[in-house]
Amino acid sequence: MKNLIRIFLEGIITNTRRILFASDRVTDMELRSKILEGRIVPTDKVAEVSCIGCGGCANACPTKAIEMVELPEPVKLMEGLVKDKIPVLDSLKCVNCYYCHDFCPLYALFGEAGTIHPNDVGIVDLEISKLLDEPVKISEDKIAFISQYLADSTILKKRKD
Ligand code: SF4
Ligand code: SF4
């Protein structure tokens, strides 16, 4: 009983200290000022230049958080491949499953960082035309598995049913 009262009192003291003095909070003063002054810049979710615009991420996303939007000017990536759309990720619909990243062909087929990421795509600096010329080094079944996700937006729905 004595112990319980001690734990209870310690809890009150710690929480009061946290509320009044913000001790041991993760959000530091610099970040708090940034939030209050509107200086937070949202992180990039798509590396637009390196993305090949295949639309696979939009097909694989289970919550339809990704929309492919038309580029003002289509970009020729290599002979026979023109990029005319890029993905836009809506963080409010995203459930952080990472399907978009993990099924992005640049990651899934070539083992490079995917050009889309639910949190922050970071720096993706790829020479796309060179990369697409490289042979894909994964098994036929894996390619078949990945391509069905990328090509058919009803797959995830079917798996859930
Ligand atoms: S991480 Fe988010 S955007 Fe990407 S597939 Fe999952 S829900 Fe969709
Ligand atoms: S799957 Fe990757 S390459 Fe394809 S549109 Fe999405 S981000 Fe771009």
Looking up tokens 């200290």 gives 17
Pair (63, 32) in one structural domain: no
pLDDT tens sequence across 113-156: 999 999 999 999 889 989 999 988 788 998 888 888 888 777 66
Q: Residue 109 domain-assigned? A: yes
Pair (126, 79) in one structural domain: yes
**Does this model's pTM top 0.85?**
no
| Residue 66 CB–ligand 1 contact under 6 Å | yes
Cα-to-centroid distance, 90 and ligand 1 (Å): 9
Q: Residue 131 domain-assigned? A: yes
Q: Residue 107 domain-assigned? A: yes
Separation between Cα atoms, residue 66 and residue 113, nearest integer Å:
18
Q: What string of DSSP letters covers 6-32?
A: HHHHHHHHHHHHHHHH-TT-SS-HHHH
Handedness of CA 158, 52, 141, 101 (dihedral sign): negative
Pair (7, 72) in one structural domain: no
Domain hosting 28: range is 2-36
| Residue 114 CB–ligand 1 contact under 6 Å | no
